[in-house]
Amino acid sequence: GESVGLHLPTLSVQEGDNSIINCAYSNSASDYFIWYKQESGKGPQFIIDIRSNMDKRQGQRVTVLLNKTVKHLSLQIAATQPGDSAVYFCAENMDSSYKLIFGSGTRLLVRP
Amino acid sequence: GAGVSQSPSNKVTEKGKDVELRCDPISGHTALYWYRQRLGQGLEFLIYFQGNSAPDKSGLPSDRFSAERTGESVSTLTIQRTQQEDSAVYLCASSLQGSETQYFGPGTRLLVL
C-alpha cells in the first residue's frame, strides 16, 4: 500500500563519510525501483534505478542495493558531500505500470 | 526547455477561490503525472495522462480537483473552491512512453489562507 510519513527520519553524516539510506518497500510484486533526491524548494531529481532482476547497480558515487527477500532497498553514497544534503525518496513500480508509489523519505544532513 | 517547467512557482489564495496550475512537460514525453506533496511528506499520486488515452484520475482527492491536457503538451490542474487543507506543493512529472522513469518539475507551492 502507499505510505505517508508524518515525521521524516534524519541521517546525519560527516562530510567525506559514506552514507546509507534505507527503504522498506511495500509490494513483493514490484519490479522496478527508483531513488530520487529532493533539495529544499525543488522537485525530486532522479538519481538511480534498479530492476528486480538485479540486486546491485552502481552509478557515480551512488550504489543501489535490492534485497527482494526482505523487500528492502538501500542507497549508498560514497564520500558524502555538503551538496548531498537533501531528502531522499525511494519509489516502487509494479508490473511495469506507470504508477510510482513513493516512500516517506529520509533527510540526509551532511556535517562539514 | 530541457526539463519540466511549472507555473506559477508560488501561489497564495484565499479559501473558496479557484486556482489553476500549469505544467509544461519535456518535449517528446507522452506521459504526464500530477502529484501532491504536503509538508514533510511523500508524494501522493493525483492523475496520469498518456497520449490520447483516457486519463487515470484515481488519485484526485475530491471533485474539486480536475486536470486537463492538450494533446501531448501542456497540462493544467484546477482546484475549485480551495480549502486550507489543499495547501501543498503540486508537482508535475513527465516520462517517455514505455518508460517508468519520471522527471519532475520544480513544483507549485500553494498556500490557501
Q: What is the mean pLDDT of chain A?
A: 89
Residue A43 has its nearest CB partner, among B50, B101, B105, at B105
Please give the grid coordinates belonging to residue B14: 484565499
Place of cell 486556482: B19
Mean pLDDT score, B54-79: 93
- The answer to whether A32 contacts chain B (CB < 8 Å) is yes
| DSSP structural state of residue B4 | -
Check residues B1 and B54 and name the one with the higher pLDDT.
B54
Residue A98 has its nearest CB partner, among B42, B50, B91, at B50
> Given this model, what pLDDT does residue B39 score?
86
| Chosen from A51, A100, A106 to mutate, greatest number of chain B CBs within 10 A | A100
pLDDT for B23 beyond 60 = yes
Contact yes or no for B105 and A45 at CB 8 A: no
> Given this model, what pLDDT does residue A8 score?
78
- The answer to whether A34 contacts chain B (CB < 8 Å) is yes
Q: Which residues pair with A67 in a beta bridge?
A: A72
Contact B110, B13 (CB under 8 A): yes
Contact B103, B94 (CB under 8 A): yes
> Given this model, what pLDDT does residue A100 score?
85
Looking at the complex, report in whole angstroms how far the Cα of residue B103 sits from the nearest Cα belonging to chain A. Answer: 7
Q: Which residues of B touch A45 (CB under 8 A)?
A: 104
Contact yes or no for B42 and A5 at CB 8 A: yes
Which chain B residue has the Cα nearest residue A37?
B104
- Cis link prior to B61 (omega < 30° from 0)? no
Check residues A94 and B75 and name the one with the higher pLDDT.
B75
> Given this model, what pLDDT does residue B101 score?
86
- Residue whose C-alpha is closest to residue B90's, from B56, B55, B59, B51: B59
Contact yes or no for B40 and A7 at CB 8 A: yes
Q: Which residues of A touch B94 (CB under 8 A)?
A: none
Mean pLDDT score, A88-102: 82
> Given this model, what pLDDT does residue A95 score?
66
Using pLDDT thresholds of 50, 70 and 90, give the confidence band for residue B2. confident
Q: Which residues of B touch A31 (CB under 8 A)?
A: none
- A90 backbone dihedrals φ, ψ, rounded to 5°: -95, 155
